[in-house]
């Protein structure tokens, strides 16, 4: 078996600590613009949530990594990224008192709890950044969703611009309403909606995905997100959740349903960031495409059947759990290729003889 | 095989071979029952009585029965016990108040699951049918102690952290992490308890307090005996088959094209000992360790 550095680039994953550090620093650089926009929209409370979440993740990794793994794994920056991603999916403030204080903001405590859960339960027991079978940020947010569903989906309007509707886009979609109109569309794309603090700016997330596709080191990973987005778009087109109304379902409503799926909740953010966790992906770019499509199908299924306002993190965790099946399929495919090659060579030899 | 002392047996049943953390049996009803401490203790008590009764019956009367018939007896006893326990809990269970009524309903719903709980069936099939009454009773008691200990810890943590209460008495309203109260929280907690047990065993073995953890948690002596018997049975069957084979059963070899004969080798190079393991005599079972027997059996299979 060739060593990781001898493998082609598209087949490489995080082979060394240096690779892991580079990957996580790139992810951090790509996530920071979202946080800055969150700060612009929601003020200092967004920064409080992000800083506490990151600090909790780093401290948990320092402590539990030292106890369980007997080494310091903070240097790969993964804890920072996990903390930041969990913070991005939370509201900027939950039930704040009249006079805002950091400790009175429940979102800060929930972010810390989710980060500690992600590191303690999902990351450290499996051996750290290069070996974790599930996306820790997805698991951390899923834990918060299961434990405090009424709190983590209580969104407050932005201080800067009023949202399109008072309800969140995910709730509107669950009710079958369509919030997309030609007048609203630019405001929705720029994140003037009621929702999580770092996942609402659709346009920026799309730009970040394009950047990932242009970066040579991230391209094959970004194929997972492409597969996810295509699957969600196709399924949302054929199985729209927007109520048809009196005129019945037409092409416009189907397209609006696709838009509502992407613009609501943390779906696009999860597709672009959480799904691309290197240790949870198959090896080849086309298998990653299929893996992303599976996750997209599960996301649509869970959004239709799930009880929570946002279920995409559960879809990602389920897709992560299905990874061994992908490895099995890949192995069988490789064995078939080898067999065919040997058979062709034998037939050629026989014909020559 | 060196005989285990009583102390070692007790330690093994309750600690090294803990039915929940090491043998991983009876998990699902246990996960449902540990949402409150009171429910966990009641469920442990009923399971202990079920286990004790099954092991006594299996040790005294069921040794010559077929395995499937014995399992049916365990299930039938479980059903009777679950029905009786459900009736008793309603009267004497101490379930008062709204939360307790819900707990009682849940307990009555999961008690029939206990009838099909694998803990009694597994312990009886692995231990009681091969041992006398005294050893079976001891095995039932130590396993019940191990089971109850884990159930109590889980009930305490899940009720305390998930519901903010203890024995139905509310302690706090703010610290309620619903995840601990849900089944996934129970399984996570169980996994961490199992990991903690393994860590403690490793820590103690490194300091010479107990034996090597991996060796200690390998498998129980009764499993060893059972495996030995199975392997012996397989080897005997293969031996019988080898003896009963007729010459006409063998597939005639395909005619090979004649090849030029190589030069004759010296006699010492031509001689090879017989390779079939099925034609020679076996040493007595008790003289062999399971590793030796397995090695011989696998070597024989490779030769074949």
Domain boundaries along the sequence of chain B: 6-216, 219-246+272-304
Higher pLDDT, A105 or B156: B156
Q: CB contacts < 8 Å between A and B, how many?
A: 12
User: How is chain B split among helix, strand and coil, in percent rounded to 5?
Assistant: 70, 0, 30
Contacts of B70 (CB under 8 A, 6+ apart): B58, B62, B124, B125, B129
Reference B186, options B80, B30, B303, B293; nearest CA is: B30
| pLDDT-above-90 percentage for chain B | 7
Q: Is the pLDDT of residue B265 over 60?
A: no
- pLDDT given for residue B251 in this prediction: 59
- pLDDT given for residue B299 in this prediction: 54
Query: What does the pLDDT average to over A296-311?
Result: 91
B189 vs A contacts (CB less than 8 Å):
none
Beta strand spans in chain B (E): 165-166, 169-170
Q: How confident is the model at residue B253 (pLDDT cuts 50, 70, 90)?
A: low
Reference A106, options A117, A114, A96, A118; nearest CA is: A96
CB contact under 8 A, B182 and A148: no
Reference B70, options B125, B135, B140; nearest CA is: B125
Q: Which residues pair with B170 in a beta bridge?
A: B165
CB contact under 8 A, B178 and A146: yes
Nearest-angstrom CA–CA distance, B278 and B302:
12
Report CA torsion sign: A289, A295, A301, A303: negative
B178 vs A contacts (CB less than 8 Å):
146-148
Nearest-angstrom CA–CA distance, A2 and A12:
11
Contacts of A243 (CB under 8 A, 6+ apart): A176, A177, A178
Nearest-angstrom CA–CA distance, A142 and A136:
10
- pLDDT given for residue A90 in this prediction: 92
B177 vs A contacts (CB less than 8 Å):
113, 147
A121 interface with B at CB cutoff 8 Å = yes
CATH of domain A16-321: 1.10.3430
- pLDDT given for residue B1 in this prediction: 43
Mutate to test the interface with B, among A103, A140, A143, A150 (most CBs of B within 10 A): A143
Query: What does the pLDDT average to over B264-270?
Result: 49
- pLDDT given for residue B116 in this prediction: 66
Q: How confident is the model at residue B261 (pLDDT cuts 50, 70, 90)?
A: low
Q: How far is A321 from chain B (nearest CA, A)?
A: 15
A173 close to A241: Cβ distance less than 8 angstroms: yes
Q: Which residues pair with B166 in a beta bridge?
A: B169
Q: How far is A104 from chain B (nearest CA, A)?
A: 13
A113 vs B contacts (CB less than 8 Å):
177
In the block, residue with structure tokens 């030069």: B263
| Interface predicted TM-score (ipTM) | 0.75
pTM summary value: 0.75
The tokens describing A11, both together, are 């087949």
CB-nearest to B178 from A121, A125, A147 is: A147
Nearest-angstrom CA–CA distance, B167 and B41:
10
Nearest CA in chain A to B177: A147
A275 close to A223: Cβ distance less than 8 angstroms: no
B170 close to B38: Cβ distance less than 8 angstroms: no
Q: Which B residues, 169 through 198, put their C-beta within 8 Å of a C-beta on chain A?
A: 177-179, 182, 184, 188, 195
Reference B15, options B290, B228, B209; nearest CA is: B209
Q: Which contiguous run of DSSP H or E holds residue B299?
A: helix B290-303
A72 close to A65: Cβ distance less than 8 angstroms: yes
CB contact under 8 A, B179 and A143: yes
Question: Mean pLDDT for chain A?
Answer: 86
Pairing assessment for the beta strands B165-166 and B169-170 based on DSSP bridges? antiparallel
Contacts of A251 (CB under 8 A, 6+ apart): none
Q: Is the pLDDT of residue B272 over 50?
A: no
Q: In this predicted model, what pLDDT tens digit does every residue of B165-218 receive, in sequence order?
A: 888 777 777 677 888 888 889 999 999 999 888 888 888 777 776 655 555 555
The tokens describing B246, both together, are 């007729």
Q: Which residues pair with B165 in a beta bridge?
A: B170
Nearest-angstrom CA–CA distance, A327 and A333:
10
């Amino acid at each position: 078996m060739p060593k990781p550095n001898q493998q082609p680039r598209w087949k490489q994953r995080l082979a060394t600590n240096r690779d892991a550090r580079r990957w996580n620093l790139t992810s951090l650089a790509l996530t920071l613009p979202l946080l800055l926009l969150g700060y612009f929209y929601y003020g200092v409370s967004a920064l409080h949530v992000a800083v506490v979440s990151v600090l909790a993740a780093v401290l948990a990794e320092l402590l539990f990594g030292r106890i369980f793994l007997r080494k310091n794994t903070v240097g790969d920056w993964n804890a920072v990224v996990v903390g930041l991603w969990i913070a991005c999916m939370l509201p900027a403030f939950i039930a704040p008192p009249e006079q805002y204080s950091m400790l009175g903001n429940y979102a800060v405590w929930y972010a810390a709890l989710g980060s500690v859960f992600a590191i303690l339960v999902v990351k450290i027991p499996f051996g750290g950044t290069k070996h974790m079978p599930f996306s820790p940020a997805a698991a951390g947010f899923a834990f918060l969703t299961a434990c405090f569903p009424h709190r983590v989906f209580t969104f407050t309007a932005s201080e800067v611009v009023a949202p399109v509707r008072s309800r969140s886009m995910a709730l509107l979609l669950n009710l079958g309403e369509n919030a997309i109109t030609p007048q609203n569309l630019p405001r929705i794309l720029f994140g003037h909606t009621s929702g999580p603090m770092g996942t609402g700016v659709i346009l920026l997330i799309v730009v970040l995905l394009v950047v990932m596709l242009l970066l040579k080191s991230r391209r094959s990973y970004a194929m997972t997100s492409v597969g996810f987005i295509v699957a969600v778009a196709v399924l949302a087109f054929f199985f729209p959740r927007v109520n048809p109304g009196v005129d019945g379902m037409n092409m416009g409503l189907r397209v609006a349903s696709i838009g509502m799926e992407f613009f609501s909740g943390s779906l696009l953010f999860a597709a672009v960031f959480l799904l691309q966790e290197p240790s949870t992906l198959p090896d080849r770019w086309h298998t990653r495409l299929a893996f992303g499509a599976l996750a997209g199908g599960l996301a649509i299924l869970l959004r239709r059947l799930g009880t929570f306002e946002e279920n995409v993190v559960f879809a990602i965790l389920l897709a992560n759990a299905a990874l061994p099946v992908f490895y099995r399929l890949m192995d069988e495919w490789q064995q078939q290729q080898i067999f065919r090659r040997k058979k062709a060579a034998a037939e050629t030899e026989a014909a020559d003889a | 095989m060196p005989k285990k002392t009583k102390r070692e047996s007790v330690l093994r049943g309750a600690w090294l071979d803990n039915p929940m953390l090491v043998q991983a049996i009876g998990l699902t009803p246990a996960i449902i029952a540990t949402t409150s401490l009171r429910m966990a203790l009641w469920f442990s008590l009923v399971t202990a009585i079920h286990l004790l009764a099954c092991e006594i019956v299996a040790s005294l009367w069921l040794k010559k029965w077929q395995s499937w018939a014995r399992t049916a007896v365990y299930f039938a006893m479980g059903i009777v016990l679950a029905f009786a326990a459900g009736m008793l809990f309603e009267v004497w269970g101490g379930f008062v108040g709204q939360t307790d009524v819900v707990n009682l309903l849940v307990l009555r719903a999961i008690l029939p699951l206990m009838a099909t709980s694998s803990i009694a069936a597994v312990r009886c099939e692995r231990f009681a049918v091969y041992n006398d009454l005294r050893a079976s009773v001891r095995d039932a008691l130590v396993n019940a102690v191990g089971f109850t200990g884990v159930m109590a810890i889980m009930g305490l943590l899940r009720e305390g952290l998930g519901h903010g209460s203890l024995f139905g008495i509310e302690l706090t309203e703010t610290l309620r992490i619903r995840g601990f109260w849900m089944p996934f929280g129970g399984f996570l907690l169980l996994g961490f308890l199992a990991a903690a047990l393994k860590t403690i065993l490793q820590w103690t073995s490194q300091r010479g307090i107990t034996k090597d953890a991996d060796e200690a948690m390998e498998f129980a002596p009764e499993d060893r005996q059972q495996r030995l018997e199975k392997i012996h049975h397989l080897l005997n069957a293969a031996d019988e088959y080898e003896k009963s084979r007729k010459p006409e059963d063998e597939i005639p070899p395909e005619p090979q094209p004649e090849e030029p004969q190589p030069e004759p080798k010296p006699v010492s190079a031509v001689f090879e000992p017989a390779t079939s393991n099925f034609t020679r005599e076996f040493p007595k079972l008790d003289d062999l360790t399971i590793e030796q027997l397995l090695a011989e059996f696998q070597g024989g299979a490779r030769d074949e």
